[in-house]
């Protein structure tokens, strides 16, 4: 809840930063960025950020000479063979274009050969790396799309840049356009992108300003693409330590402000990159980071609670980049826990979590204030404190017992959110300290009887933790509760009730015969995940009691054609266990029929399982 609030409140922090660390410099506004782009668009550019295919037929001005380049001077015999299907030596224009086409080949060897040839040719003929030549790159990109290895494209752009820096502006625009038009889970070309932009920023301070304008536009975009923002932060990381950035305070201020603005992003992928940039800046310009850190510390004392809250949130990123800030952040967070505003206290708890992760010596101090916060009236602060306690109790063997009373008390809350987090904490406590099992059992048993299905579910998971650490004392009690829970209307309770039963069976073989009718019945459940859990119980029961093999086999025969692929896989795992227990079942007529049909199954995993069974058992006959 408060993470979302943080996003809307960061602007007050940026105002403060402008006064404290930016020394009068103003950050380019979105309007200025738009104006800059508009000015660029008025030129005869190679592309725009809106499209990668200009549909241009402009010729490539490769040379004023009519002589065709001797390509053999630039290729080895092996490279010539690799590029033979592409090479067109009818003219210099066609030669360059054919080599650029090879950049989009699916084979890395072909792409590398083409890049090497282009690099050598442009080194001797730098004028060929011109605006007209660049227009061919987006055409190649738009035609090949996802098949194109992006790394080669950015290496090609870097080759053009090294040959002719006069087209650096066009290269910058084109590179940004490609990044924005090819967003994936993770760019395979991140390293080549970083190298290209680092070279661009090294060439000219003006290009640094252009990069910052584009990065600022992304930071201001509420509908941002996650991967684009990640890639832009990686670009900023690649240029943060070069002279054209470090020596220009205005550039550094703007870059730093963008990074702090992106720190408010809800994506972990984005914020991880924020930490990377801060770490780079701290290594190359620690005085600058120290100055900014002190400004953020001061902001936590602001009269505006939004600024105080944002300041605490931002301190976490400084600490992740520079662990020596732990003491200062810890003291600020402890003080902030007394703040009247829940939002500030929530962020103080988040800051404490970061402090403890950075330096465990602060765990005891963090535990004390977090225990108090766990039973706060404010739901968000209480749930945050309970989550933090779940982490803290794993750091010291004495903490689970110290935390149990607080966790138990929180399960009495009127808020379902608090109860659920408290139950998760109780389960973790039971996992960590078997002496806490009696209290945990009482808590779990009470929760499993509540009307709220999420509360019942988490109560069942508490009982699972109890039976794992105190099997002898609680197996029968938990078993009876779990059997009843297999009829619950909530599918995940039925599923995990079977998981509890399976755990009990694996540690207490005498329960195997008791669970058979329950598991068999649930193999017909309407939910796939419940049927899978039921089959797992059958398999565990068979392993601890081989005498159940006949009834288990008969059940497997009836469910082997289940409509769910995942369920069928589980059935074949069960059949494999049956054969390992007694190989004679391979001689059953039904089994031979099943294995024939399964060998034609649409699922490759099932086909492999049946093939392996065929080789292991049937072919040995």
Q: What is the pLDDT of residue 67?
A: 56
Long-range contacts of 340-344 (CB under 8 A, 24+ apart): 341/305, 341/308, 341/309, 342/2, 342/376, 342/378, 342/380, 342/381, 343/2, 343/5, 343/6, 343/305, 343/306, 343/309, 344/305, 344/308, 344/309, 344/312
From CA 159, how far away is CA 99, in angstroms rounded? 13
Q: Break the chain into its structural domains and give their ranges.
A: 514-621
**How large is the average pLDDT for residues 570-588?**
93
The 3-state DSSP class for residue 481 equals helix
Determine the distance from the C-alpha atom of residue 158 to the mean position of all C-alpha atoms in its chain, rounded to a whole number: 29
The 3-state DSSP class for residue 59 equals coil
**How large is the average pLDDT for residues 443-469?**
97
Instruction: Check if the beta carbon of residue 83 is closer than 8 Å to that of residue 102.
Output: yes
Q: What is the pLDDT of residue 144?
A: 53
pLDDT in tens, 116-138: 999 999 999 999 999 988 988 87
Is the pLDDT score of 221 beyond 80? yes
Tokens of 352: 């404490």
**How large is the average pLDDT for residues 310-322?**
96
pLDDT in tens, 504-542: 999 999 999 999 999 999 999 999 999 999 999 999 999
**514-621 is classed CATH 1.10.3720.10:** no
Q: What is the pLDDT of residue 434?
A: 96
Q: What is the mean pLDDT of the chain?
A: 87
From CA 147, how far away is CA 141, in angstroms rounded? 9
Instruction: Please report which confidence band the pLDDT of residue 148 belongs to, taking 50, 70 and 90 as the band edges.
Output: low
Q: In this predicted model, which residue has the larger pLDDT, 34 or 335?
A: 335
pTM for the whole structure: 0.79
pLDDT in tens, 285-306: 999 999 999 999 999 999 999 9
pLDDT in tens, 21-69: 433 333 333 333 333 333 333 333 333 333 333 333 334 444 444 455 7
Pick from 17-26, 409-418, 579-588: least confident: 17-26
**How large is the average pLDDT for residues 567-581?**
96
pLDDT in tens, 357-399: 999 999 999 999 999 999 999 999 999 999 999 999 999 999 9
Q: What angle do CA 461, 465, 468 make, to 5 degrees?
A: 135
Q: What is the pLDDT of residue 105?
A: 84
pLDDT in tens, 441-450: 999 999 999 9
Q: In this predicted model, which residue has the larger pLDDT, 158 or 153?
A: 158
Is the pLDDT score of 147 beyond 80? no
pLDDT in tens, 342-360: 999 999 999 999 999 999 9
Is the pLDDT score of 190 beyond 90? no
pLDDT in tens, 63-101: 444 455 777 788 888 998 999 999 988 888 888 888 988
Q: What is the pLDDT of residue 184?
A: 59
Pick from 149-158, 166-175, 342-351: least confident: 149-158
């Amino acid at each position: 809840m408060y993470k979302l609030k943080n996003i809307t409140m960061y602007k007050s922090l940026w105002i403060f930063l402008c006064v404290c660390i930016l020394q009068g410099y103003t950050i380019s506004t979105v309007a200025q960025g738009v104006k800059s782009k508009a000015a660029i668009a008025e030129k005869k550019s190679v592309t725009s950020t809106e499209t990668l295919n200009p549909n241009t037929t402009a010729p490539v001005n490769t040379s004023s000479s009519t002589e065709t380049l001797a390509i053999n001077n630039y290729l080895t015999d092996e490279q010539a063979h690799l590029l033979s299907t592409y090479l067109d030596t009818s003219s210099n224009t066609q030669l360059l274009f054919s080599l650029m086409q090879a950049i989009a080949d699916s084979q890395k060897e072909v792409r590398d050969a083409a890049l090497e040839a282009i690099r050598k040719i442009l080194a001797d003929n730098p004028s060929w790396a011109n605006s007209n030549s660049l227009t061919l790159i987006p055409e190649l990109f738009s035609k090949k799309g996802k098949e194109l290895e992006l790394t080669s494209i950015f290496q090609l752009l870097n080759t053009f840049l090294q040959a002719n820096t006069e087209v650096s502006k066009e290269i910058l625009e084109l590179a940004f356009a490609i990044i924005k038009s090819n967003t994936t889970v993770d760019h395979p070309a991140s390293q080549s992108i970083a190298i290209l932009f680092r070279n661009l920023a090294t060439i000219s301070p003006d290009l640094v300003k252009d990069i910052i304008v584009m990065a600022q536009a992304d930071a201001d975009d509420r509908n941002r693409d996650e991967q684009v923002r990640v890639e832009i932060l990686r670009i900023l990381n690649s240029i943060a330590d070069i002279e054209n950035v470090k020596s220009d305070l205005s550039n550094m201020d703007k870059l730093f402000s963008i990074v702090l603005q992106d720190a408010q992003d809800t994506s972990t992928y984005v914020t991880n990159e924020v930490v990377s940039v801060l770490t780079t800046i701290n290594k190359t310009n620690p005085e600058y980071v120290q100055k900014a850190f002190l400004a953020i510390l001061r902001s936590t004392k602001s009269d505006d609670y939004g600024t105080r809250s944002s300041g605490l949130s931002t301190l976490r990123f400084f600490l992740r980049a520079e662990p020596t800030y732990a003491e200062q952040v810890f003291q600020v967070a402890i003080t902030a826990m007394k703040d009247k505003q829940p939002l500030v206290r929530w962020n103080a708890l988040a800051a404490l979590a970061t402090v403890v992760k950075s330096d465990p010596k602060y765990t005891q101090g963090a535990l004390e204030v977090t225990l108090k916060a766990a039973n706060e009236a404010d739901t968000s602060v209480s749930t945050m404190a309970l989550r933090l306690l779940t982490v803290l109790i794993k750091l010291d063997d004495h903490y689970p017992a110290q935390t149990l009373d607080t966790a138990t008390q929180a399960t009495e809350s009127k808020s379902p959110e608090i109860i659920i987090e408290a139950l998760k904490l109780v389960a973790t406590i039971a996992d960590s300290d078997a002496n806490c099992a009696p209290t945990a059992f009482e808590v779990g048993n009470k929760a499993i009887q509540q009307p709220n299905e999420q509360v019942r579910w988490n109560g069942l998971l508490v009982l699972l933790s109890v039976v794992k650490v105190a099997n002898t004392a609680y197996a029968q009690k938990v078993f009876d509760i779990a059997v009843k829970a297999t009829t619950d209307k909530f599918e995940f309770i039925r599923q995990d009730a079977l998981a509890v039963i399976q755990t009990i069976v694996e540690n207490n073989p005498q329960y195997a015969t008791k669970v058979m009718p329950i598991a068999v019945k649930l193999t017909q459940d309407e939910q796939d995940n419940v049927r899978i859990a039921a089959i797992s119980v059958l398999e565990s029961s068979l392993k601890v009691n081989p005498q159940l093999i006949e009834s288990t086999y008969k059940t497997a025969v009836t469910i082997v054609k289940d409509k769910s692929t995942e369920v069928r896989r589980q059935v074949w795992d069960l059949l494999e266990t049956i054969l390992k227990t007694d190989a004679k079942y391979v001689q059953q007529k039904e089994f031979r029929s099943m294995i024939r049909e399964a060998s034609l199954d649409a699922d490759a995993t099932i086909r492999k399982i049946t093939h392996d069974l065929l080789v292991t058992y049937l072919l040995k006959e």
